[in-house]
Amino acid sequence: MRLASVALDREQWSEADGHVHRALEAIEARGLVALIPDALELLAAVAGGLHSDEEAARLLGAAAEARTRHELVRSEARGLQVAALEQTLRERLESEGLEEAFAEGRALDAGEGVAWARRARGERKRPPGGWESLTPTELEVVRHAATGLTNPQIGEQMFITRGTVKVHLSHIYAKLGVRNRSELAAEAARRRLGVAEGP
């Protein structure tokens, strides 16, 4: 689950999600119930990053129930992460909605929590901002722009007009909260997003 934590730090939600679900398969296969709360909390962080706030609250509830039932203590670092996520959810959801979703999660035992997490995974929508919000076409534009290609050159590579490239770039800037190509290139480099690489 360490890989999932690294991906979460980089806001690579889909990658983190995949790592946690692979870890959950191993946890279930080996009967390592003590690791389920950590996995559920990591999945809650993924859901929160993707603005699936009720899902995140339910997962936190399920994790809390598993910790209580099996008398498991959370690490200090994980405790800080969970507290930050709870604060974010409190700001996004009305108090009543947060408490209701959390209670629904607490009503699940560890096995039910994992099963619910797997079902919820397929129901998520694309988030409104951040790298996970970019479409495949926008990601391709980013890859080309990050290598220094101009709008006409990107258009030639992708068989689209320079005006369409400009529109894609304006959407990308808004979604990522960057102001120009140099900021975009810096963010792409930070994520190691190159022409031959995936997101």
Q: What is the CA radius of gyration of the chain?
A: 19
Domain boundaries, the chain: 2-121, 131-190
pLDDT value at position 13? 82
Measured CA to CA, the distance from residue 90 to residue 157 in angstroms comes to 45
- Taking only the tens place, the pLDDT of each residue in 9-30 is 888 888 888 899 899 889 988 9
pLDDT value at position 133? 80
Angle at 50 between CA 54 and CA 101, to 5 degrees: 10
pLDDT value at position 43? 93
pLDDT value at position 56? 92
Task: Mention the CATH class of domain 131-190.
Answer: mainly alpha
pLDDT value at position 125? 58
Q: What is the mean pLDDT of each run of 10 residues along the chain (199 residues)?
A: 86 86 89 92 91 90 93 92 93 85 90 84 68 84 94 91 90 92 91 53
Q: Work out the percent of the chain whose per-residue pLDDT is above 70.
A: 93
Angle at 174 between CA 170 and CA 176, to 5 degrees: 115
Measured CA to CA, the distance from residue 68 to residue 7 in angstroms comes to 28
Angle at 71 between CA 66 and CA 74, to 5 degrees: 75
- Token pair 């140099």 in the structure block, residue: 182
